[in-house]
Amino acid sequence: MSSVKTVLASIRIGWYRDFGWTNPLTGFLMKTIAPVASVLSASIVYWLGSSAAGSFDPSHVSYIIVGAALYTHVAGYSWVPSQAISEGKWSYVFPQVFISPKSSTPFLVGRCLASFVTSALTSLISLAFAYYVAAAIFKSSIPFIVTPLSMSLLLGALLANVPATLGLGILLAAYTIFASKFEWALPTYVAGLLMVFSEALFPVSVLPWPLSAFGNVLPFTQFIRAAREAVVYGSVSAYSYYVGYSLLGGLLFLGVSLWAYRWAERQGRKKGIIDRKVV
Amino acid sequence: MESRLWLRALYARMWVRVMSVFNEPLWIAVNIGFPFFSSVGLGLLYASTGLRSFVGFAILGGIMISFWGNVLWSMASQFYWDKQVGLFEIYLTSPAPMTAILIGMSLGGVVNTAPSAVLVAVAGWLFFAPPLSPSWLAVVLTLALTLASLYAMGMMLSSLYLAYGREAESINEALHEPVSLISGVYFPSIGNFSPFPFSVQVFASLIPLTIGMDALRRALFFSQGLSSIYLHLIVLSIMGGALLLLSSKTMKLLEEKGRREGTISVRLR
Amino acid sequence: MLSHEPEVRVEVQNLRREFDSKERKVVALNGVSLKVREGEIFGVLGPNGAGKTTLIRILSTLLLPTSGVARVMGFDVASEPEKVRAVINMASGAERAGYDYISARGNLWFFSQLYGLPSEVAKARIKALSQLLGLDDYLDRKFYMLSTGYRQRVTIARAFINDPKIVFLDEPTIGLDVMTAMSIREFLIKEARENGRTIFLATHNMAEVDAICNRVAIIDRGRILTSDTPTNLKRSLGAPALVMEVSPLPVNLAFLGAVEGVKGFTTSVDEERGLARVQVVVESEECVRRALAGVAASGMRLVSSWRQQTTLEEVFVSLVGRGFVEREHEVGE
Ligand SMILES: Nc1ncnc2c1ncn2[C@@H]1O[C@H](COP(=O)(O)OP(=O)(O)OP(=O)(O)O)[C@@H](O)[C@H]1O
Ligand SMILES: [Mg+2]
């Protein structure tokens, strides 16, 4: 019960951290600009290449918009737990959370969930925005299924993906406990890896063998596939398969991450490295 | 005497910046993450359309995005970090001119980013072997001018950021992607191949990076020499010079404002 | 031989600085005037929020005065900051700024270049300063590897790197262990005595002022209450202070203020022993008797009482009526 309270409290801290420096609207707009731009970048790259090659296909634009919006979504909140730790090390918040006898996991989960909400909203906005802008600048109609069913399926996919992203977040947090340098550079790596390996912009089969297999088993790949089934292709049965995969795979991953984090936390306490600060 | 101080301050600021990375080579790994993956990701996307000849755009984009990232995180917001740790007041109370310090910071930034930019280039070339048809003299000159004007923009931003406090980080996060979108880091954003309407192109052309990227692509992939891109180069030089002047003026103004309002050494953490 | 009057290096006239915060206007300096000469270590002593840092920031060109004039080496700090900057340096104990991945030596060299020092000169000076400050063996460590005390030594060395005429130091020994603080103080005395440097020191450490300052200005709420040598200030009090331990807690000592000849008093509570220690600044022996009689009449128990050599704290109490710590509480409210 008390850990639920911790989660809720740290959700509030998370929102405050993200929006406290300005009014919520400005803060939210600032957070939306980046994903909108990166979704558009990817669609334009596809448009330019395929127009020149004579292979332009409007439905592939939907493919890319969904992929780009959702990989940035995952990237946007998966690194929050490790950010919470590295910032906390500086501001002495984390050592306080850490020295309390309870596990610090609920704190991290709360921070991550706070960002989930923000990131889900910004991704959906970038999705919609990119859809209109792409239709206008590519002068073609981009297929998208917008029905109550498809929207609920998309929402379902976003939720089913939470365990996997939390898993990634907690795993990175486990690393950050030990890292004393440059841990803030992790998000760029996470975003980059997701961009390449989660079938965000092109099928993983494009990658050379062991890499393609790696991309294929990622729950994030299944999540993006499920979302595409929901709003682009419209196959409910394929959707169910992918969502199931992403949820179960995610839960498995989360389990492993939690175990790794517990281990890291114990080591961290034993070695007293939690408040070590090196720029 | 004056000019000696200028040069010493400039050189010292550059030295500090370069040595910081030299002493901590992990920095290169930090710098290279995003540029590397985005050039690979977008390169594969270009390749997946069946057209290999544009793959080079993605790699060039990865190279240039390293510098843009450096300008944002290590130039624009630098004085904000410096203010937090108390270095900024040391600069201010010294007789060293801020412009010399900023130029030193820029040169150091270019030197520090060069290794990761080169690594992205080499990796991209080994991985994709994109078709090139360069006019090398034009490429080198354009690159130099693009970097000069890009860092001049960084100097301008760094004086502007002095007026902001905690927002610096969020502004950086919000600026990184949109600027690379409209300045056409990965695809032509001005000219015949641009996806953008004319008005957006005009706006984009106000950013030196846009002009530089366009000229770089022409020189590197379409063998256009100095005779075809000289206008780009002239515009870049003018922009660079203007931004340099403007940044030193803004710096002075904001210093006065800070002295009046007592915001020079107010730290937020 | 003609004895020459040492030159005036800092001259402040009727300096005022206001800050507009959201709720109210804060007057950080309210008509401050002072003169500091060559070779002097001048202390500005006052409780938190008195305006010390504000004064130092104005003199080191980081802040403009709202009104009044401040000159450093004859240059106006408001209108000729470039000229002032060439002859001063400053350091703040709260700061300890440096580049983490650069050695202490590298950092000092960097800072010397901000003054355009030729590298040979800079190197020689780094060597000399680090010898004086006991930094020799630490010069080649990266800045982030240094402990607080050594970072502070680097910071102090930095403040002298350009051979400045005047050095402004804001709480230079705050948070340091006694030995480090002492060696820094020795260094400051040497710099002032041997090189004729003017050291302008803001602090709320009375022992520090007593130990090293030639002159001290006591500042409270933006006003300079008095300014003289520490010895003269203490002597001016007349009689040694009276210290009383009274119980039970809580004590009510308001009546003391009305006792004739009591210039002020400060109270600290000793929870463990269940008593309050009251330090009373008195004018005369007669006044001591009156104060003791007052305690007896109030019904409190006098556990013990003795007389104490005056320190600057008592000087402050006699001027403000309250102690440093109590003053800080009041100002905070
Ligand atoms: N930038 C500012 N904006 C608003 N108020 C300020 C600012 N700087 C100082 N003040 C106020 O001016 C007053 C004097 O502050 P100052 O820092 O000069 O005191 P100080 O004597 O150095 O105290 P301390 O011992 O705590 O360092 C305080 O009330 C402080 O709150
Ligand atoms: Mg102060």
Task: Work out the percent of chain C whose per-residue pLDDT is above 70.
Answer: 98
| pLDDT bracket for residue A277 (50, 70, 90) | very low
What is residue C80's predicted lDDT score, i.e. its pLDDT? Answer: 95
What is residue A201's predicted lDDT score, i.e. its pLDDT? Answer: 94
Tell me which H or E stretch contains B185: none
Q: What is the mean pLDDT of chain C?
A: 89
C148 touching chain A per CB within 8 A: no
Kindly tell me if the per-residue pLDDT of A100 is higher than 70.
no
For residue C139, is it within any domain?
A: no
Q: Given the CA of residue C219, which atom of ligand 1 is nearest to it? A: 21
CB C290 within 8 A of CB C260: yes
Are C39 and C173 within one domain?
A: yes
**Is the CB–ligand 1 distance for residue C93 below 6 Å?**
no
Q: Which residue has the tokens 């007896």?
A: C296
Nearest residue of C to residue B26 by CA position?
C101
For residue C65, is it within any domain?
A: yes
What is residue A97's predicted lDDT score, i.e. its pLDDT? Answer: 60
| pLDDT bracket for residue B104 (50, 70, 90) | very high
What would the pLDDT profile of C72-114 be if each residue is shown by its tens digit?
A: 999 999 999 999 999 999 998 877 789 988 999 999 999 999 9
Kindly tell me if the per-residue pLDDT of C21 is higher than 80.
no
What is residue C333's predicted lDDT score, i.e. its pLDDT? Answer: 46
CB < 8 Å to A279, chain C: 100-101, 144
For residue C114, is it within any domain?
A: no
For residue C67, is it within any domain?
A: yes
What is residue C271's predicted lDDT score, i.e. its pLDDT? Answer: 83
CB A161 within 8 A of CB A242: no
Q: Which residue has the tokens 């079938």?
A: A199
CB A127 within 8 A of CB A65: yes
| pLDDT bracket for residue A20 (50, 70, 90) | low
Please say which residue of C203, C228, C253 terminates a domain. C228
Q: How far is the CA of C323 from the centre of ligand 2 (A)?
A: 18
C-alpha–C-alpha distance, residues C224 and C236, integer Å: 17
CATH number of the domain to which C57 belongs: 3.40.50.300
What is residue A273's predicted lDDT score, i.e. its pLDDT? Answer: 64
Are C207 and C289 within one domain?
A: no
Question: Domain boundaries in chain B?
Answer: 2-261
Are C313 and C174 within one domain?
A: no
What would the pLDDT profile of A213-225 be if each residue is shown by its tens digit?
A: 999 999 999 999 9
Q: Which residues contact C94 (CB under 8 A, 6 or more apart)?
A: B86, C170, C171, C174
| pLDDT bracket for residue A5 (50, 70, 90) | confident
C-alpha–C-alpha distance, residues A126 and A145, integer Å: 16
What is residue A276's predicted lDDT score, i.e. its pLDDT? Answer: 52
Tokens (6 digits) for C248: 């039970």
Are C13 and C75 within one domain?
A: yes
* Domain count across chain C: 2
What b/e string do you get for C46-82 counting C-beta neighbours within 10 Å, with b at 16 or more? bbebbbbbbbbbbbbbbbbbeebebbbbebebbeebe
User: Which of the pair, C299 or A54, is modelled with greater confidence?
Assistant: A54
pTM: 0.88
Please say which residue of C172, C195, C228 terminates a domain. C228
Kindly tell me if the per-residue pLDDT of A279 is higher than 50.
no
DSSP conformation letters of B147-170: HHHHHHHHHHHHHHHTT-STHHHH
Chains with ≥3 CB–CB distances under 8 Å to A: B, C
Are C274 and C214 within one domain?
A: no
Kindly tell me if the per-residue pLDDT of B51 is higher than 90.
no
| Interface predicted TM-score (ipTM) of this complex, two decimals | 0.91
- Please, what sign has the CA dihedral across residues B198, B200, B203, B205? negative
C-alpha–C-alpha distance, residues C176 and C153, integer Å: 10
Q: How far is the CA of C26 from the centre of ligand 1 (A)?
A: 9
C144 touching chain A per CB within 8 A: yes
What is residue B269's predicted lDDT score, i.e. its pLDDT? Answer: 32
For ion ligand 2, residues whose CB falls within 5 Å = C 52-53
Chains with ≥3 CB–CB distances under 8 Å to B: A, C
What would the pLDDT profile of C233-262 be if each residue is shown by its tens digit?
A: 888 877 788 888 888 777 777 788 777 788
What is residue C6's predicted lDDT score, i.e. its pLDDT? Answer: 83
Tokens (6 digits) for A170: 């907690």
For residue C244, is it within any domain?
A: yes
Q: How far is the CA of C19 from the centre of ligand 2 (A)?
A: 15
**Is the CB–ligand 1 distance for residue C54 below 6 Å?**
yes
As a whole number, mean pLDDT of residues B47-65 equals 91
- Cα-only R_g, chain C: 23
For residue C212, is it within any domain?
A: yes
What would the pLDDT profile of B57-87 be if each residue is shown by its tens digit?
A: 999 999 999 999 999 988 988 888 888 888 9
Kindly tell me if the per-residue pLDDT of A171 is higher than 70.
yes
Are C244 and C266 within one domain?
A: yes
What would the pLDDT profile of B16-35 be if each residue is shown by its tens digit?
A: 999 988 887 787 888 888 89
What would the pLDDT profile of A199-256 be if each residue is shown by its tens digit?
A: 999 999 989 989 999 999 999 999 999 999 999 999 999 999 999 999 999 999 999 9
In which domain, by residue range, is C202 found? 8-87+164-228
What would the pLDDT profile of B183-211 be if each residue is shown by its tens digit?
A: 999 999 999 889 999 999 999 999 999 99
Which ligand sits closest to the CA of C17?
1
CB < 8 Å to B97, chain C: none
For residue C209, is it within any domain?
A: yes
Task: Work out the percent of chain B whose per-residue pLDDT is above 70.
Answer: 97
Of C155, C121, C114, C113, the closest CA to residue C138 belongs to C155
Among A28-42, A100-114, B80-94, C31-45, where is mean pLDDT lowest? A100-114
Question: Domain boundaries in chain A?
Answer: 2-271
CB B61 within 8 A of CB B130: no
Q: Which residue has the tokens 């440093």?
A: C324
Kindly tell me if the per-residue pLDDT of B144 is higher than 50.
yes
What is residue B57's predicted lDDT score, i.e. its pLDDT? Answer: 95
Q: Give strand pairing partners of C247.
A: C301
